[in-house]
Structure 1
């Protein structure tokens, strides 16, 4: 079978990583790059460099990866859909619900594979956590809490922390819980002097009753990516920086003092840190995109799911503006 010809649009901070992984992924070839600034780091190797998306499409590609600023996603994605090219678009899918809807409709109408780069789904820790939740190891799930903090990324200027960073947690939480968001409440702050928010503290409830909390900012001196899932039998803690997964089991022991026992609740039990096969999430994401195009499997983050993440993000921003709990409207 001939290899899929994949084009790359944008070879900046994220694009250069996509270029490397495309070149190393079995069954695909980096057919060309489109970037008006060229490829000064030589990330694309010997692949042809084009100044426009149109030139890249005309060179003959089966699929494309879009790794440009969010405000350019819609126009490029629609151009790809019109040309019959499958696409993996970096998150968020677009800047707002309206533009995202146009992109989703275009790809679905054309019968094309459209994916969004919510890479955390492919992190070994979260993949193992999802499997263990599905297997019933936690029992009923009560709460999912996330912390995503780190230094300010100077490359991000067109959206705030909610759409750029918190959408990772929105997507991962809905995926782990297998439920959509129902209501949200959020506070945001802008401390860096930029036009968009750089901190958010959010609480929400999913349609299946699970409650969630998200603490996200661009102003912390340390990088933290933590997801805690608490349930009937204990709590899983996933660290997606180190790709570690730890289970804190509820302890069980008898107490003679009944009045204390009644208020004690759960206790600490066995702590287990799992050994995981730590494959690079970006590589797993590209393999999923490739296999979806080939019809072998379907575990991409679809464009419709990416649109849902933007919908929740906009509900968070609306909640912060109104200082009220709001329902996620679909």
Structure 2
């Protein structure tokens, strides 16, 4: 079977990594790159940098990666769907829920694979966490908490921290727990003079009853990417910067200090840090997309899943504006 002919739209801060990884994926050939801004990072190699999506499609591509600013996702995706091109769109799926739904519908109607680049699902720490939860190692899950904080990235200008970063946490939480969001509330802040929010705190509940909390900002001098899942037998802690996963077990040794035992509820048990293979998440994501296009079993994030994540983000922003709790419908 001939390799898939892949095209890449956008070679900015994220697109440059797609350009590198696409050249490493078995069964895929990167044959065309387009970016109206040229090639600022020098990743095109011997490929000419085309000017727009129409020129990219004209190269006869089978698949495409859309890594342009969010407000341009819909236009590019709809043209690719009309041309019969399977497409992976960077997260978030679109700048509005309405645009995202038009994308979902276009690819479904065309019978094409449409995927969203929610890369955190492919982080080795979270993949290990998901597997261990499925195997019952935590027992009943009570709460999922995430912290995603760091300095402002100059690459982002068209969306706020909720769509750019909190979308990661919302997607990975629903995926790890295998449950959609039920209700959300939130608080936002604008501290840096930009049009969009640069800080958000989200709290909510999944349909499974699991409580969720997400702290996300562009205002912290330290970079933090942590997911904590607390349950019946203890707590898992996943660090997606390092790819580490550890487990803090509830203790089985009685606490002799009676008043302290009553205060603490559970005791501290053993802490285990797991050893496992760590592959680059972006490469694993591209392999999943390739497999979906080839009709194989795949863990690629579908456009419909990306649309649900965007709906939760929009609900959180609405809840913050209204100072209310928003219920997600089916």
TM-score normalised by structure 1 residue count: 0.97
For residues 197 and 114 of structure 2, what CA distance do their matches in structure 1 show?
Answer: 29
Q: Match of 2:71?
A: 71
Partner of 1:316: 316
Q: CA deviation at 1:329?
A: 3.2
Counterpart for residue 210 of structure 1: 210
CA shift for structure 1 position 261? 4.9
Q: Structure 1 residue 222 and structure 2 residue 222: aligned? A: yes
In the TM superposition, what whole-angstrom CA distance separates every residue of 1:294-327 from its partner, at most 9, and x where no partner exists? 1111211100000001100000001100111111
Q: 1:222 to 1:256 in 2, by over 3 A?
A: closer
Structure 1 segments (4+ residues) deviating >6 Å: 256-260
Separation in 2, partners of 1:117, 1:259: 50
Please tell me whether residue 285 in structure 1 is matched to residue 285 in structure 2: yes
CA distance, structure 2, for counterparts of residue 194 and residue 328 of structure 1: 28
- 2:169 is the counterpart of 1:169: yes
SS at match of 2:60: coil
Local SS of the residue matching 2:185: strand
Per-residue deviation at 1:69? 0.2
SS in 2 for 1:104: helix
Conservation of the 8 A alpha-carbon contact between 1:31 and 1:48: no
Please, which moves more after superposition, 319-328 or 208-217?
319-328
Query: 1:151 — aligned with what?
Result: 151
SS in 2 for 1:24: coil
Cα deviation for residue 290 of structure 1 reads: 0.5
In the alignment, the residues of structure 1 paired with residue 83 and residue 61 of structure 2 have an alpha-carbon distance, to the nearest angstrom, of 10
So what's the TM-score if we normalise by structure 2? 0.97
Q: Deviations over 1:153-176 (max 9, x none)?
A: 111111101111100000000001
Report deviation, 1:49.
2.1
CA contact (8 A) 2:255 2:267 kept: no
Task: Provide the rounded CA distance (Å) in 2 between the counterparts of 1:268 and 1:328.
Answer: 37
Which whole-Å CA distance do the structure 1 matches of 2:153 and 2:174 have between them? Answer: 26
CA deviations over 1:94-121 (Å, ceiling 9, x no partner): 0111000000000011111111001000
Ranges in structure 2 where 5+ consecutive residues have no aligned partner = none
Paired residue total: 330
- Partner of residue 54, structure 2: 54
User: Could you say which residue in structure 2 is the equivalent of 1:237?
Assistant: 237
> Which residue number in structure 1 is paired with residue 180 of structure 2?
180
The Cα shift of 1:39 comes to 1.9
Q: Aligned pair in 2 of structure 1 residues 58, 321: CA closer, same or farther (>3 Å)?
A: same
CA distance in 2, matches of 1:257, 1:310: 49
**Aligned partners of 2:170 and 2:262: how far apart in 1?**
36
> Hey, what does 1:199 align to over in structure 2?
199
Q: Does structure 1 retain, via aligned residues, the 8 Å contact 2:12–2:41?
A: no
Cross-structure match for 2:98: 98
Post-superposition shift, 1:44?
Answer: 2.0
Q: CA deviation at 1:37?
A: 2.0
2:107 equivalent to 1:114: no
